[in-house]
């Protein structure tokens, strides 16, 4: 669409300056990825799509797309930045939004994974466990149910979880009861579906147990 070579330096300056939704967004591409450019603020539609749209629906405006409503992401910086930018979202709220921290530890399926600035781009599926956000001396810990964590090349980490609760909101007695209950259910499960559900319950409650440090 546009000649990407010439605007590379302009892009870096522009992206650095504009964190709000760019008003004059045209399809600037990050020079690093020559494949599909992820542009936000303006819909990523090819010209062919626009033509097709005019053919089938000449009287309607084009619909909006989610990329219209997203802020642009910072480009890949040339050196490793000092801080990690964390976005932690839940269905019920934005828990952390573009917060600059030192590092985070996420409960990936393969174990606790630490993410520092300059981490290699990763997609990690999360299992129930503790997520801790470290910024200097302050540490915030949440128990997350499950979700995904994306680490991007530009040292932005997105963590999407379904439920995340600070640890002090849990009742140790309830957790113990839960472990016993789900163990019983697992033993008395009649079919695979019930067994799978009971296993999930056992996994979550045991993780909670370890997280809270109770036996």
Is residue 106 a contact partner of residue 93, using CB atoms and an 8 Å limit? no
Sorted by sequence, the CB contacts under 8 Å of residue 74 that are 6+ apart come out as: 15, 16, 19, 85, 154, 156
Please report whether residue 43 would count as binding another protein according to CB under 8 A: yes
In angstroms, the CA 179 to CA 112 distance is 22
Please report whether residue 90 would count as binding another protein according to CB under 8 A: yes
Using CB under 8 A, pick the residue from 4, 67, 186, 189 that binds another protein.
67
Please report whether residue 26 would count as binding another protein according to CB under 8 A: no
Least distance to another protein from the beta carbon of 161, Å?
Answer: 10
- 16 SS3 class: helix
Sorted by sequence, the CB contacts under 8 Å of residue 37 that are 6+ apart come out as: 27, 28, 29, 30, 44
Please report whether residue 150 would count as binding another protein according to CB under 8 A: yes
Task: Decide whether 36 or 136 has the Cβ nearer to another protein.
Answer: 36
Instruction: Catalog residues that contact another protein under the rule CB under 8 A.
Output: 33, 35-38, 40, 43-46, 48-49, 52-53, 55-57, 60, 63-70, 73, 87, 89-94, 97, 108-110, 113, 120-125, 147-148, 150, 152-153, 156, 158-160, 162
């Amino acid at each position: 669409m546009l000649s990407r070579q010439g605007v590379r330096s302009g892009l870096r300056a522009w992206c650095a300056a504009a964190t709000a939704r760019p008003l004059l967004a045209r399809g600037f591409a990050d020079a690093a990825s020559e494949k599909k450019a992820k542009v936000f603020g303006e819909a990523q539609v090819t010209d062919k799509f626009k033509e097709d749209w005019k053919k089938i629906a000449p009287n309607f405006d084009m619909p909006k797309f989610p990329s219209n409503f997203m802020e642009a992401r910072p480009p890949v910086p040339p050196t490793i930045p000092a801080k990690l930018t964390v976005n932690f979202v839940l269905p019920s709220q934005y828990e952390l939004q573009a917060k600059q921290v030192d590092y985070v530890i996420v409960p990936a399926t393969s174990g606790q994974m630490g993410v520092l600035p300059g981490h290699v781009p990763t997609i990690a599926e999360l299992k129930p466990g503790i997520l801790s956000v470290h910024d200097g001396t302050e540490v915030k810990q949440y128990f997350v149910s499950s979700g995904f964590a994306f680490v991007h090349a530009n040292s932005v980490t997105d963590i999407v979880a379904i439920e995340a609760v600070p640890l002090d909101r849990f009742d140790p007695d309830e957790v113990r009861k839960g472990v016993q209950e789900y163990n019983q259910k697992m033993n008395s499960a009649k079919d695979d579906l019930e067994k799978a559900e009971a296993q999930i319950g056992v996994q979550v409650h045991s993780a909670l147990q370890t997280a809270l440090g109770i036996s």
